[in-house]
């Protein structure tokens, strides 16, 4: 470790109390954590009840559950109102005939209605599938088709991206907006909510019953539906307490959209299970708006991502000085490697240490973290939370000693672990191929003090601005473009976004390469899939390196890009 890093560690360790992390590791048990909930004796539960209704019944009815704002709207929703409105939505779904276990998707920009719909869906035991608003038709189609969704909550503006006619299972489209004229198979959200009762018979489910489906990308094949059960609440509650350090009077802001797992596990469940006040900011990222959100809501705990911190850093320190951020007391990050440089800057401008946390869509909740009371080591993801164990293992599952790089693996099980991959048991089993371990797909090493250090992905999955993109999905879209013969996609290192998507493309016979064509191809992916999945760089090649079985060799493309040796080419076609 460099002396510079030593200095940062000293600087950030002033209120360190390593003992309590060690103590918690020794004394903690998940069975005890469960006793926080009365259902541990009955076995029947419901996430939305525990997150909202329980608090409303226990005297927090008038407490703010949600502080929502965007450019044109600003609204406070109390725990009592959140209970009543999610009840209404549960009744809306029941009236349409939606049943326990059915998949209901929510495809709309952040707004209070999104949260009523999400919680209402869960209350009737249906499985909620949140979709990021930037998805275009192909991405929406893949997810609704795979999960055989019966209903979708969306807006008139996004409706053209929902290929209703091609989705035989999709029976109901619930439209959120003003002046809706609902056609066949459609319902007007506000009109239905107005007529529905605010009293609901909650569906009490088993702990292993389905809660949520989050689609995420791998290196091959279509996106996978990662399925989580209500049982995850034990981990959401507990990590909210010990990692987010949430206390009853905290004002908490998680900047992630609920289309991604961070926006549900830590943008919905963890804060509300802990009875905190949850801030949601709609609209796009803008440094001024973000700082204004922190200031006006007096945010105390803030959970964001490295790309956002890097963008705030490049927006300059002057902006920070225009705002009073003195309410902040705890800051965290997730999604990609958090640069020591950013931590140093955070210490300087926010007077806060930014605590890195590591986990994945599949893990459902935080696992390796810079626990609040422990020394943080800038550049390290931290240590496994109490109740869990992590290790670096080789490809046979042997645990490697400190400082050796290998597969980052988590000892199974833990409460929020995914329970299946929708329609794809063999994909699910791949994660558990080494007896007793969940294999993350990340490579890392552990230092002699037990801190874990991220090194990269083992596969070709791209992480751009903290969003996971599967190269296969982008390649499939690229080859649909009439000018494209073949395409290979890689992540290219980028100082702001972590990685950007770079596509190598060979053109069909007779097509001339040009900058206009590059722009047109990028636009094609953006409009078909999603803006964040479109290549920021395209390079034309006469031929792409392929194996004899015709698979594009992404590792060779990567080596070209980085100017590295291409390694073993014995399987290459010619
Ligand atoms: O590669 C790791 C990276 O993000 C992947 C998980 O992506 P996703 O399922 O979209 O979930 C993101 C938010 C939970 C991981 O396999 N990743 C996540 N956190 C970190 C990270 N890489 C480095 N440091 C982290 N703290």
Measured at the CA of 285, the angle between CA 279 and CA 288, to 5 degrees, comes to 80
**Are residues 533 and 223 in contact, defined by beta-carbon separation less than 8 angstroms?**
no
Among the atoms of ligand 1, which is closest to the Cα of residue 265? 14
Which tokens is 134 given?
Answer: 């930037």
pLDDT in tens, 144-196: 999 999 999 999 999 999 999 999 999 999 999 999 999 999 999 999 999 99
User: Which residue has tokens 């290192």?
Assistant: 493
- DSSP letter for each residue of 285-350: --HHHHHHHHHHHT-SEEEE-HHHHHHHHHH-HHHHHTS--TT--EEEEESS---HHHHHHHHHHT
Task: Tell me what pLDDT residue 214 has.
Answer: 98
Return the SS3 of 127: strand
Residue 207, CA distances (Å) to 41, 125, 232, 521 in order: 12, 11, 8, 46
216 lines ligand 1 (CB under 6 A): yes
Among the atoms of ligand 1, which is closest to the Cα of residue 368? 26
337 lines ligand 1 (CB under 6 A): yes
Q: Mean per-residue pLDDT for 230-234?
A: 98
Q: What are phi and psi of 32, to 5 degrees?
A: -65, -40
Is the omega angle on the peptide bond into residue 207 within 30 degrees of 0, that is, cis?
Answer: no
**Are residues 211 and 453 in contact, defined by beta-carbon separation less than 8 angstroms?**
no
Q: What are phi and psi of 341, to 5 degrees?
A: -55, -40
Strand partners, 487: 505
Rg (CA), the chain: 24
Return the SS3 of 240: helix
Which residue has the CA at smallest separation from atom 8 of ligand 1? 360
**Are residues 507 and 484 in contact, defined by beta-carbon separation less than 8 angstroms?**
yes
To test the pocket of ligand 1, the residue of 214, 261, 358, 462 to mutate (highest count of ligand atoms within 8 Å of its CB) is 358
pTM greater than 0.95: no
257 lines ligand 1 (CB under 6 A): no
Mean confidence (pLDDT) of the chain: 94
Q: Collect contacts of 534-538 with beta carbons under 8 A, ≥24 apart.
A: 534/474, 534/501, 535/474, 535/478, 535/489, 535/500, 535/501, 535/502, 535/503, 536/500, 536/501, 536/502, 537/492, 537/500, 537/501, 537/502, 537/503, 538/502, 538/503, 538/504, 538/505
**Are residues 68 and 111 in contact, defined by beta-carbon separation less than 8 angstroms?**
yes
Task: Tell me what pLDDT residue 19 has.
Answer: 47
Minimum mean pLDDT range among 10-19, 289-298, 434-443: 10-19
pLDDT in tens, 391-435: 999 999 999 999 999 999 999 999 999 999 999 999 999 999 999
Which tokens is 126 given?
Answer: 């249906």
Q: Which residue has the higher pLDDT, 525 or 3?
A: 525
Q: What are phi and psi of 459, to 5 degrees?
A: -100, -165
Distance separating alpha carbons of residues 134 and 525, to the nearest angstrom: 12
First to last CA, the chain: 44
- CA of 541 from ligand 1 middle (Å) equals 32
Which residue has the CA at smallest separation from atom 22 of ligand 1? 336
Among the atoms of ligand 1, which is closest to the Cα of residue 441? 16
pLDDT in tens, 463-503: 999 999 999 999 999 999 999 999 999 999 999 999 999 99
**Are residues 308 and 255 in contact, defined by beta-carbon separation less than 8 angstroms?**
yes
Q: Mean per-residue pLDDT for 66-94?
A: 98
To test the pocket of ligand 1, the residue of 227, 305, 360 to mutate (highest count of ligand atoms within 8 Å of its CB) is 360
């Amino acid at each position: 470790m460099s002396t510079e890093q030593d200095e940062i560690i000293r600087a950030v360790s002033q209120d360190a109390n390593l003992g309590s992390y060690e103590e918690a590791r020794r004394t903690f048990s998940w069975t005890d954590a469960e006793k926080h909930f009365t259902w541990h004796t009955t076995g029947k539960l419901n996430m939305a009840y525990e997150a909202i209704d329980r608090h409303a019944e226990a005297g927090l009815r008038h407490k703010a559950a949600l502080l929502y704002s965007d450019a044109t709207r600003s609204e406070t929703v109390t725990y009592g109102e959140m209970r009543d409105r999610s009840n209404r939505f549960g009744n809306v779904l029941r009236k349409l005939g939606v049943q326990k276990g059915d998949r209901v998707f929510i495809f709309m920009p952040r707004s209070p209605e999104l949260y009523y719909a999400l919680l209402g869906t869960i209350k009737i035991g249906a499985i909620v599938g949140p979709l990021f608003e930037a998805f275009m038709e192909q991405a929406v189609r893949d997810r609704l088709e795979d999960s055989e969704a019966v209903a979708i909550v969306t807006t008139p503006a996004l409706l053209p991206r929902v290929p209703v006619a091609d989705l035989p299972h999709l029976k109901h489209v619930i439209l959120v907006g003003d002046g809706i004229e609902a056609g066949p198979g459609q319902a007007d959200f506000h009109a239905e909510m107005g007529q529905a009762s605010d009293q609901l018979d909650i569906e009490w489910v088993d702990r292993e019953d389905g809660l949520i489906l989050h689609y995420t990308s791998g290196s091959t094949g279509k996106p996978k539906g990662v399925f989580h059960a209500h049982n995850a609440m034990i981990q959401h509650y507990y990590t909210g307490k010990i990692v987010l350090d949430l206390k009853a009077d905290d004002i908490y802001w998680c900047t992630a959209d609920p289309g991604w797992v961070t926006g549900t596990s830590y943008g919905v469940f963890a804060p509300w299970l802990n009875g905190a006040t949850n801030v949601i900011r709609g609209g796009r990222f803008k440094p001024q708006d973000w700082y204004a959100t922190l200031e006006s809501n007096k945010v105390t705990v803030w959970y964001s991502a490295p790309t956002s911190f890097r963008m705030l850093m490049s927006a300059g320190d002057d902006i920070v000085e225009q705002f009073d951020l003195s309410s902040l007391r705890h800051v965290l990050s997730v999604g990609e490697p958090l640069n020591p440089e950013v931590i140093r800057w955070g210490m300087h401008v926010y007077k806060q240490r930014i605590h890195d946390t590591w986990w994945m869509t599949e893990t459902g909740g935080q696992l390796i973290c810079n626990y609040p009371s422990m020394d943080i080591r800038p550049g390290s993801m931290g240590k496994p939370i109490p109740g869990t164990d992590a290790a670096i293992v080789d490809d046979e599952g042997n645990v490697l000693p400190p400082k050796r790089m290998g597969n980052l693996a988590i000892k199974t099980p833990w409460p929020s672990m995914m329970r299946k991959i929708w329609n794809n048991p063999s994909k699910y089993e791949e994660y558990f191929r080494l007896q007793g371990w969940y294999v993350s797909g990340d490579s890392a090493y552990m230092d002699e003090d037990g801190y874990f250090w991220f090194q990269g992905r083992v596969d070709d999955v791209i992480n751009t601005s903290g969003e996971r993109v599967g190269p296969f999905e982008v390649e499939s879209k690229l080859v649909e473009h009439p000018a494209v013969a073949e395409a290979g996609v890689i992540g290219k290192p980028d100082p702001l976004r972590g990685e950007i998507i770079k596509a190598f493309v060979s053109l069909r016979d007779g097509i001339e390469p040009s900058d206009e064509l590059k722009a047109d191809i990028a636009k094609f992916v953006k409009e078909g899939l999603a803006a964040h999945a479109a290549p920021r760089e395209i390079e034309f090649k006469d031929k792409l390196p392929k194996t004899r079985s015709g698979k594009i060799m992404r590792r060779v493309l990567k080596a070209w890009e980085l100017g590295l040796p291409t390694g073993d080419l014995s399987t290459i076609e010619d």
